[in-house]
Structure 1
Amino acid sequence: MSEVSPLQPIPEPPAPRKNANSIELIAGSVGGASQVLTGQPLDTLKTRAQTAPKGQFKNTLDIFTTTVRNEGLLALYKGMLSPLLGIAAVNSLLFTAYGASRRIVSPYPDLSIAQVASAGAMAGAANAVLASPVEMFKIRMQGQYGGAGDKKLSGVVGDMWKQYGFKNGIMRGYWITFVREIPAYAGFYAGYETSKRWFAKHYYPNPVPVWATLTSGALGGVSYWLACYPLDVIKSRVQLSKTPPVQGHWLSGGYINQEFRVILQEGGVRALYRGLTPSLLRAVPAAGATFLAYEIAKEYIIDHNLL
Structure 2
Amino acid sequence: MSGTITRVGVVGGGQMGAGIAEVCARAGLHTVVCEADATAARRARERVTASLERAVQRGKLDRPSAEDALTRLAFTAGLDDLADRHLVIEAVVENTDAKTEVFAALDKIVQDPGAILATNTSAIPVMRLGMATQRADHVLGLHFFNPVPVLPLVEVVPSLHTAARTVTAVETFARDTLGKTTIRSQDRTGFVVNALLIPYLLSAVRMAESGFATAADVDAGMELGCAHPMGPLKLADLIGLDTVVAIAQSLYEEFREPLYAPPPLLRRMVEAGLLGRKTGRGFHTYDRDREAR
> Shorter-normalised TM-score: what interval?
under 0.3
**TM-score, structure 2 normalization:** 0.26
The structure with the greater share of residues assigned to helix is 1
Q: Which has the higher contact order (CA 8 A, sep 6+)?
A: 1
